[in-house]
């Protein structure tokens, strides 16, 4: 059964997405528009990766509609796009590229850790912090995956925790160094319905506000 691969919601990972977008536009200049729309989908958390290689990518035009992307795409634009590279396939490609390039660049400490997936189970392994977030390697030999800080307990159990705490200092402080959502964007559709998005920085909020305004929606930014 394919497992969900969590994508970090961090400024560092968004920077990796933007860098991947710039590189893709240089390689495929005639597809810059589709690549840019793919970036907007990725930045809006519209890509869900799975361990078997496929992804669910959210439509940016139809509410609650997701497409299946796995070498092909179930959207109508797939067959008309150059090489089948629609915006949804670009969105998946950018997220995968960002994951690949978020490996550790320094000698970061590796921690014994327990991962708690959304299904209520638990998995022991090791965790290391990368520019793109926490990378968790299960002890059972499964593929490494990126997980949110909220789903990760550093330190393992018992004597292992005490030994590592003595060597590395307070693990609690490391766990609590999380980015807080402080900027919000309320998007109002033509029919009056609304939805609210949360972001860590004002810059990202303004980028997404410009994106939604370009699609004809009314937006309102506020800090909380």
pLDDT for 16-62, tens place per residue?
899 899 989 999 999 999 999 999 999 999 999 988 889 999 999 99
Give percent above pLDDT 70 in the chain.
Answer: 80
* Range list of H helices, the chain: 11-27, 32-43, 87-100, 158-168, 171-175, 202-214
Residue 56: its pLDDT value, please? 95
Question: Pick the residue with more confidence: 104 or 8?
Answer: 8
Residue 178: its pLDDT value, please? 42
> Which residue(s) pair with 55 in the sheet?
49, 69
Q: How many residues does the chain have?
A: 224
What is the mean pLDDT of the segment spanning 69-87? 94
d(CA 175, CA 196): 27
Q: Which residue has the tokens 């590395």?
A: 168
d(CA 63, CA 107): 43
pLDDT of 171 strictly over 70: no
Cβ contacts of residue 153 below 8 Å, gap of 6+? Answer: 113, 114, 115, 116, 175
**164 — pLDDT class (breaks 50, 70, 90):** low
pLDDT of 73 strictly over 80: yes
Residue 125: its pLDDT value, please? 87
Q: Mind spelling out the 3-state secondary structure of 133-148?
A: EEEEEECCCCCCEEEC
Residue 159: its pLDDT value, please? 37
pLDDT of 114 strictly over 90: no
195-212 pLDDT, tens digit each: 677 667 777 778 778 877
Most confident of 16-20, 109-113, 132-136, 218-222: 16-20
pLDDT of 174 strictly over 60: no
Question: Pick the residue with more confidence: 169 or 5?
Answer: 5
What is the mean pLDDT of the segment spanning 93-109? 73
d(CA 219, CA 129): 35
d(CA 133, CA 149): 8
Where is 199: in which H helix or E strand? strand 194-199
Residue 48: its pLDDT value, please? 92
pLDDT of 105 strictly over 90: no
Residue 60: its pLDDT value, please? 92
């Amino acid at each position: 059964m394919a497992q969900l691969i969590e994508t970090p919601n961090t400024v560092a990972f968004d920077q990796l997405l933007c860098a991947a977008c710039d590189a893709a536009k240089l390689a495929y200049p005639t597809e810059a528009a589709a690549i840019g729309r793919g970036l907007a989908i990725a930045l809006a958390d519209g890509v869900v990766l799975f361990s078997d290689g496929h992804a669910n990518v959210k439509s940016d035009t139809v509410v609650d509609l997701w497409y299946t992307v796995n070498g092909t795409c179930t959207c109508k634009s797939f067959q008309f796009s150059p090489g089948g590279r629609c915006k949804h396939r670009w969105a998946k490609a950018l997220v995968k590229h960002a994951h690949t390039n978020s490996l550790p660049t320094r000698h970061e400490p590796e921690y014994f850790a327990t991962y708690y997936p959304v299904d209520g189970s638990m998995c022991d392994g090791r965790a290391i912090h990368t520019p793109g977030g926490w990378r968790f390697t299960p002890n059972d030999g499964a593929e490494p995956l990126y997980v949110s800080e909220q789903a990760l307990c550093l330190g393992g159990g018992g004597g292992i925790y005490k030994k590592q705490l003595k060597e590395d200092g307070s693990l609690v402080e490391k766990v609590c160094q999380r980015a807080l959502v402080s900027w919000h964007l309320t998007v109002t559709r033509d029919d009056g319905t609304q939805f609210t998005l949360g972001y860590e920085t004002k810059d990202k909020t303004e980028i997404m506000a410009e994106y939604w305004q370009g699609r004809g929606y009314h937006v309102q930014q506020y800090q909380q």
